[in-house]
Amino acid sequence: MPESTPKTMGQQFGRRSWAEPWKIKMVEPLAVTTREQRQKALEEAGYNTFLLRSEDVYIDLLTDSGTSAMSDRQWAGLMLGDEAYAGSRNFYRLEAAIQNIYGYKYIVPTHQGRGAEHLISQAVIKKGQIVPGNMYFTTTRLHQELAGGIFQDVIIDEAHDPANLHPFKGNVDLDKVQSIIDKYGAENIAYISVAGTVNMAGGQPISMANIKALRALCDKYGIKIYLDATRMMENAFFIQQREEGYADKTIAQIVKEFCSYTDAAWMSAKKDNLVNIGGWLAVNDWDLFEELRNLVVVYEGLHTYGGLAGRDMEAMAIGIEESVDDQHIRSRVGQVLYLGELLLSWGIPIVQPIGGHAIFLDAKAFYPHLKQVEFPAQTLAAELYLDSGIRSMERGIVSAGRDPKTGDHYYPKLELTRLTIPRRVYTQAHMDVVAEAVKAVYDARETTRGLKMVYEPKYLRFFQARFVRL
Ligand code: PM9
């Protein structure tokens, strides 16, 4: 077995302490509220943490999307924004940074990840085609479905078991891909949709060996592989730590090699690329590039700004360069591991191995007395906010949505509440406070009641659904 079992942070980093490789230059005060204030805010928000006002939140772990702290270089870069309608110099800086770090040939900027997902789905998916993927992501699958595609999950079975310690739970099961090819024919597969890391599985990585093997299989049938590169830097860190032959390679080398086994990528730059807004598409095929360049002017903006200001593209170009720094990734993932290991030491059920961007609390194990339609993960997010003002996000039955064919809920095996760690924002002391709050909610778990959904939007319901207590 070329892959090693995941190590704890102590094993990975030795006995010496580590610290964030940055110091704080500017501070943003946090709101401290009373339980009565939080109860009122929660009721007004329909027990949905997306509907809370951020000024009512103490530590905000809703998402790592667009919530990073930019560096002094990035803030300085904003002043270099060239806001020309066409041909902004910041676009060419961004284009060069993506080509240099990720290795793709042609770049199309978009306002954020789902803008990129929309364009690529419309460009390549024909009605009725299958889109196999290593677990669904909410916006990704929706755009694939809106373009007429049918998503099929081809992640390894271990990914659906929160306690399974497989070091690469984001891996694609090649047998599942082969059976889809055998059943539908290669021509009825739009492309393989591969994410590194896999958000809904708990931020789990895919190995280099697996993407290489997938490439070989796809080459046999002429099937393309498109990468969701949103958290690829974190994926590269896990390859460096866990996969034989990569310990001495830099994050930059690993990212470049991984991307070389794929044909194109889309990106929510709001995560790994350390900016508050932005996204992009990167492809190697000229014809596909032409199609995307045609579509971007319809939906996003000219092909040299894609819905972004020049200054946003400059900040992104700098963020891309900073995001491959080995010290940055080590402390980014190190902070997530720190929180997770503290929770594990208190016996709190979380998805293991600990992932790259978040701790995923296992809400089914928290609340075994709640049925899935009583929304255990949504309940847990509400309880955590009530206890301490910490905002987290549901990643279970609400996020999964409904099967467009039957209209019934999807019932995902994973019913999780995500504590997502923004990059370069919080300190280890914040992580201690979060861990203690989770412990308090865990200790009160037996008397906790579930929720009932009273308002359900048509698309991506988790953003705006409303609930009441049962
Ligand atoms: N992810 C997250 O919090 C943003 C809100 S939830 C939809 O995890 C992947 C792997 C993502 C992702 C967003 C997008 C969409 C694509 N792929 O939010 O549109 O995690 O920039 O990116 C969120 P945008």
pLDDT digits (tens, 9 = 90+) for 293-316: 999 999 999 999 999 999 999 999
Distance between Cα 345 and ligand 1 center (Å): 30
Distance between Cα 42 and ligand 1 center (Å): 24
> Are 241 and 375 part of one and the same domain?
no
Average pLDDT of the chain, as a whole number: 96
Q: What is the CATH number of the domain that holds 256?
A: 3.40.640.10
Q: Which residue in 272, 275, 276, 278 sits closest to 255, CA to CA?
A: 272
- The partner residues of 130 in beta bridges, in order of sequence, read 150, 189
Angle between helical axes of 208-221 and 251-260 (0-180°, round to 10): 20
Please give all residues whose beta carbon lies within 6 A of any atom in ligand 1, as ranges.
Answer: 63, 65, 112-114, 137-140, 195, 199, 228, 230, 268, 270, 279
> Are 76 and 87 part of one and the same domain?
yes
Given 323, 347, 364, the domain boundary residue is 323
What tens digit of pLDDT does each residue of 199-219 get? 999 999 999 999 999 999 999
Q: Report the nearest atom of ligand 1 relative to the CA of 231.
A: 10
What tens digit of pLDDT does each residue of 337-346 get? 999 999 999 9
Across residues 256-270, what is the average pLDDT? Answer: 98
Q: Report the nearest atom of ligand 1 relative to the CA of 114.
A: 19
Q: Is the pLDDT of residue 1 over 50?
A: no
Cβ-proximal residues to 287 (8 Å cutoff; 6+ apart), any chain? none
Number of domains within the chain: 2
> Are 305 and 369 part of one and the same domain?
no
Distance separating alpha carbons of residues 317 and 43, to the nearest angstrom:
41
Angle between helical axes of 113-124 and 286-299 (0-180°, round to 10): 120
Given 323, 350, 378, the domain boundary residue is 323
> Are 53 and 107 part of one and the same domain?
no
CB 344 within 8 A of CB 407: no
Buried b / exposed e over 392-423, threshold 16 CB at 10 Å, is bbbbbbbbbbeeeeeeebeebebbbbbbbbbb
Across residues 437-459, what is the average pLDDT? Answer: 97
- HSE-up (13 A, CA, CB side) for residue 385: 35
What tens digit of pLDDT does each residue of 137-196 get? 999 999 999 999 999 999 999 999 999 999 999 999 999 999 999 999 999 999 999 999
Q: Is residue 283 part of a domain?
A: yes
Q: What is the CATH number of the domain that holds 338?
A: 3.90.1150.10
Q: Report the nearest atom of ligand 1 relative to the CA of 269.
A: 21
Tokens 């951020």 correspond to 54
Distance between Cα 113 and ligand 1 center (Å): 7
CB 170 within 8 A of CB 235: yes
Helix (H/G/I), strand (E/B), else coil: 242:
helix
Q: Which residue in 231, 307, 308, 282 sits closest to 100, CA to CA?
A: 282
Distance between Cα 114 and ligand 1 center (Å): 7
Given 323, 350, 367, the domain boundary residue is 323
Ligand 1 atom 24: residue of nearest CA = 113
> Are 202 and 149 part of one and the same domain?
yes
> Are 261 and 372 part of one and the same domain?
no
Q: Is residue 215 part of a domain?
A: yes
Could you give the percent of the chain with pLDDT greater than 70? 97
Q: Is residue 66 part of a domain?
A: no
Distance between Cα 200 and ligand 1 center (Å): 10
Ligand 1 mutation pick, 64, 120, 139, 232, max ligand atoms within 8 A of CB: 139
Q: How confident is the model at residue 19 (pLDDT cuts 50, 70, 90)?
A: confident
Across residues 429-435, what is the average pLDDT? Answer: 97
Q: Is residue 285 part of a domain?
A: yes
Distance separating alpha carbons of residues 354 and 365, to the nearest angstrom:
16
What tens digit of pLDDT does each residue of 450-468 get? 999 999 999 999 999 999 9
Q: Is residue 109 part of a domain?
A: yes
- The partner residues of 150 in beta bridges, in order of sequence, read 130
Q: Is the pLDDT of residue 17 over 80?
A: no
Task: Please tell me the predicted confidence (pLDDT) of residue 4.
Answer: 58
Q: Is residue 263 part of a domain?
A: yes
Ligand 1 atom 1: residue of nearest CA = 65
Across residues 54-67, what is the average pLDDT? Answer: 98
For residue 118, give its domain range. Answer: 72-323
> Are 142 and 14 part of one and the same domain?
no
Cβ-proximal residues to 283 (8 Å cutoff; 6+ apart), any chain? 104, 105, 106, 108, 263, 264, 265, 289, 292
Ligand 1 atom 21: residue of nearest CA = 113
End-to-end CA distance of the chain: 49
> Are 141 and 222 part of one and the same domain?
yes
Q: Is residue 4 part of a domain?
A: no
CB 353 within 8 A of CB 167: yes
Task: Please tell me the predicted confidence (pLDDT) of residue 404.
Answer: 86
Q: Report the nearest atom of ligand 1 relative to the CA of 64.
A: 3
Distance between Cα 268 and ligand 1 center (Å): 7
What is the token pair recorded at 26? 């500017």
Distance separating alpha carbons of residues 136 and 463, to the nearest angstrom:
17
Distance between Cα 380 and ligand 1 center (Å): 21
Q: Is the pLDDT of residue 3 over 60?
A: no
> Are 130 and 234 part of one and the same domain?
yes
CB 39 within 8 A of CB 388: no
> Are 293 and 349 part of one and the same domain?
no
Q: Is residue 123 part of a domain?
A: yes
- What count of other Cβ atoms lies within 10 Å of the Cβ of residue 447? 6
Q: Report the nearest atom of ligand 1 relative to the CA of 115.
A: 19
Task: Please tell me the predicted confidence (pLDDT) of residue 2.
Answer: 46
> Are 300 and 345 part of one and the same domain?
no
Distance separating alpha carbons of residues 202 and 106, to the nearest angstrom:
31
Segment (H or E) for 395: strand 393-395
Q: Which residue in 266, 290, 333 sits closest to 109, CA to CA?
A: 266
Distance separating alpha carbons of residues 38 and 467, to the nearest angstrom:
16
Across residues 104-112, what is the average pLDDT? Answer: 98
Ligand 1 mutation pick, 64, 67, 114, max ligand atoms within 8 A of CB: 114
Positions annotated as catalytic residues are 85, 137-138, 228, 271, 395, 462
Ligand 1 mutation pick, 271, 359, 392, 420, max ligand atoms within 8 A of CB: 271
> Are 124 and 170 part of one and the same domain?
yes
